[in-house]
Amino acid sequence: MKQILRNLLILTAGFFIFLFGQTVGEHIAIRREIRQFVQRGVLDEINSTDTIKYYKVSRETYYPNELIRDPFYNNNYLKPGAAGDIFVTQQSPLVGYPGIHEFVTFFFGGHAALVDENNKIYETIGIPNDDETLLDVIINGGEDTHVIGGVSNYWLNPSFRMEDETDPSYRKFGTYYRNEWVGLRIKGATQLDINNALAYVEDKAERESQYNFLFVLFTKNKYYCTDIVSRAYESIRNESGKQKFVLNRDLIAVTVNDLILSKSTYISYYVTTENNVKHVYYIG
């Protein structure tokens, strides 16, 4: 028995060492892709201010053959994104839980959402209401823990969060949603592909498909944030009936890193914060 336990401990330790090493490699690869994108950015002096700087990445120098889309909705520079764009952040929302926040940020990422044709957001969030328990929501579903659409685009909203020094999220991220996030587009996607992906998510929103807290188990009609985005595009088939896009690289749980590093995606936005100044890089 002792030998069995020892072997199990060795296998478990080996798995986590492998997972840690793999994730470190993913972060390095993501930083490299972001750096290559940012290096192409040219300051947009007309639209930049003291608190937010915009940098245009010319489409002629970065994926020039992809579907042309406006980078901002109705030329509103606080509303980034076109239909079908995927927004992701590695930063966990659990800033009030030291250790857990860093763990989730490193291994899984914070959130993912899909932009519709009206610059609204499709997403799913597994946060129970105050009168709900997590266990009950996991078993029976929650009132708001399901796929939703029509959410106002908050990703570059300077008033997303109120100033409140008692709020850990405000102390970490300020009044914006996050300090750093990435926008993604699908390589080779046609307008029809985008329409089909949005139709897929709209159907799940109408069904109020619940959040999947178990991630890789009981996946029928249940989704988590990165999962709903990946499955929307992976539902699309080519003329031969084969899956056209692959966003879940390891076919297990879909992480934010998976979406960024997928061979089916490319970076279309990068937003970061330095000295309380937002820096927004976009394809234009």
Residues 6+ apart with CB under 8 A from 280: 52, 53, 54, 55, 77, 80, 156, 269, 270, 271
pLDDT at position 4 is 67
Mean pLDDT, residues 24-42 taken together: 94
Q: In 3D, which of 19, 8, 57 has the Cα closest to residue 281? A: 57
Strands (E), the chain: 41-43, 52-57, 86-89, 111-115, 121-123, 148-151, 181-186, 210-211, 222-223, 265-274, 277-283
Q: Is the pLDDT of residue 199 over 80?
A: yes
Domain range for residue 44?
2-283
Q: For residue 211, report the phi and psi dihedrals to the nearest 5 degrees.
A: -70, 140
d(CA 106, CA 258): 12
CB 43 within 8 A of CB 55: yes
**Number of structural domains, the chain?**
1
pLDDT at position 200 is 97
Average pLDDT, the chain: 91
pTM of the model: 0.92
Share of the chain above pLDDT 90, in %: 73
Q: Is the pLDDT of residue 12 over 70?
A: no
| Residue in the block written with tokens 């490193």 | 106
